[in-house]
Amino acid sequence: MSQHTTPIPLVDLVSQQAEVADEVRAGLDDVLAACAFVGGPVVDAFEREYAAHVGARHCVGVANGTDALELALRAVGVGRDDEVVLPANTFVATAEAVSRLGAVPVPVDVDDEHLLIDAAAVRRAVTSRTRALVPVHLFGQCAPVEALLDIGRDLGVPVVEDAAQAQGARRHGRPAGSLGAAAATSFYPGKNLGAAGDAGAVTTDDPEVARLVRMVAAHGSEQKYVHAEIGVNSRLDAVQAVVLRAKLARLEAWNARRRRAARRYDALLEGVPGVRRPSEAAGNQHVWHLYVVRVADRDRVLARLHEAGIGAGIHYPTPVHRTEAYAGLGLGAGSFPVAERAAGEILSLPMYPHLTAEAQERVVSVLTAAVTAPVTAPVAAPVAAPVGARR
């Protein structure tokens, strides 16, 4: 990379922080003055505001997105040895939340066009032990939740959304996070709505689910020193709520910028040989948490982008069932061919609200040169996605 070429990050948190800095600073001053660090008025206000944004009756802030999914599943009745169906193409935390309950994750394949959970595969995978279905709203658009709701009604099991990548997304006009019995989201910094560290939330219309999540997250207690269950310590702290409130007020505008950036990528990549563009599923309003193309010889292409100072990434290089952590599921190569094939082709291009047209033109120029260049030598394995791009 030329020393005169400005790097283009995969995620630009600096520009986001600059936009909210004054508001965050003032909010933090208030928190520090009041010494209300855990819970308190600012957390209550964020929970109300995020519930309203999602269109859910309740929001319970927790420490991170993985806790949110575990607590949501526990609140709808998932326990030890139960089965939970989820897509193979997701971040490992989706399965991890199931395993932490002593339940069994049951991965299924995804559709080839959008890489979202395949409802037909879900129906084939359910058994008498199935206790929940978990669609993942991947890359910024909703999974086909209505099909899973139909399956869930037939079985009498709930749908719990993994909405960690879809703050602001909609399906048939309804927001992600309001489509199932409960939904879990992550506010990891690189998300469309990101905190200044780990944070998460559960949204639901069911007051009993909300009560159980809040109680279990507070050491199984609703009254100090009275513990109805063995719980955990998973609370949203006031510092993160300050940051999240400032960013939530801008989320719709920032998502609109992401949609414009996605349309620019679509136009720039039209007709580029060897690049398969992403698409928006019918009924969805995509918020483009990630813009994921598919290319042959992906690792070589990724290395060329990195050499040019372009922070591309891979989400995700290994399907859940092929990770060492889940080798015990006994699902070998070929179990889920769509997810496995896609894992070797997917490439996440820079995507964030402050991405400029000029930066996108440079990304596409380098990408085009990389996919059309003859292979001359092997390249090193790709590096992991930069900090801020996880989950």
- Model confidence over 226-266: pLDDT tens digits? 999 999 999 999 999 999 999 999 999 999 999 999 999 99
Q: Indicate whether this model's pTM tops 0.85.
A: yes
Single residue among 248, 267, 283 that ends a domain in this structure: 248
Kindly state the tokens that stand for 225. 């020193």
* 171 phi-psi bin (left φ>0, alpha ψ -120 to 50, beta other): beta
Run means of pLDDT, 10 residues per run, the chain, 391 residues: 75 97 97 93 98 98 98 98 98 98 98 98 98 98 98 97 98 98 98 98 98 98 95 97 98 98 98 97 98 98 98 97 97 97 98 98 98 68 48 56
Q: Please indicate, yes or no, whether residues 116 and 209 belong to a single structural domain of this protein.
A: yes
Give 75-101 pLDDT, tens digit per residue. Answer: 999 999 999 999 999 999 999 999 999
Evaluate whether residue 383 is within a structural domain: no
Convert the pLDDT of each residue in 107-135 to its tens digit. 999 999 999 999 999 999 999 999 999 99
What token pair was written down for 379?
A: 């390249």
Q: How crowded is the C-beta side of 312, counted as CA atoms within 13 Å?
A: 32
Give per-residue burial for 339-357: e unless 16+ CB within 10 Å, then b.
bbebbebbbbbbbbbebee
Q: What is the pLDDT of residue 5?
A: 80
In Å, what is the CA distance from 289 to each residue of 130, 188, 190, 311, 348?
Answer: 30, 12, 9, 15, 10
Phi, psi of 110 (to 5 degrees): -120, 165
Is the residue at 211 inside a domain? yes
Q: What is the pLDDT of residue 376?
A: 61
CB-CB contact of 39 with 70 (8 Å): no
Nearest-Å Rg of the Cα atoms of the chain is: 21
Q: Which of 216, 358, 363 is nearest to 302 (CA)?
A: 363
Q: Are residues 136 and 240 in the same domain?
A: yes
Q: Based on the domain organization, do 220 and 262 belong to the same domain?
A: no
Residue 235 and residue 276 in one domain = no
Residue 379 lies in a domain: no
Would residue 2 count as lying in a domain?
no
Residues 21 and 139 in one domain: yes
Residues 71 and 124 in one domain: yes
Nearest 5°: the CA angle 194, 199, 201 is 100
Beta sheet of 200-204, edge-to-edge order: 58-62, 200-204, 182-186, 160-162
Find tokens 């033109």 and name the residue: 361
Q: 135 with 116: CB under 8 angstroms?
A: yes
Contact partners, residue 380, CB within 8 Å, separation at least 6 = 303
What integer pLDDT is reported at residue 374 of this predicted model? 79
Q: Is the same domain home to 97 and 165?
A: yes
Number of structural domains in the chain: 2
State the pLDDT at residue 375: 66
Question: Is the same domain home to 23 and 76?
Answer: yes
Residue 297: give the domain boundaries: 252-372
What's the mean pLDDT when you consider all of the chain? Answer: 95
Report the alpha-carbon distance of residue 340 to residue 343 in Å, rounded.
Answer: 5
Answer yes or no: do 237 and 266 share one domain: no
- Domain shared by 181 and 272, yes or no: no
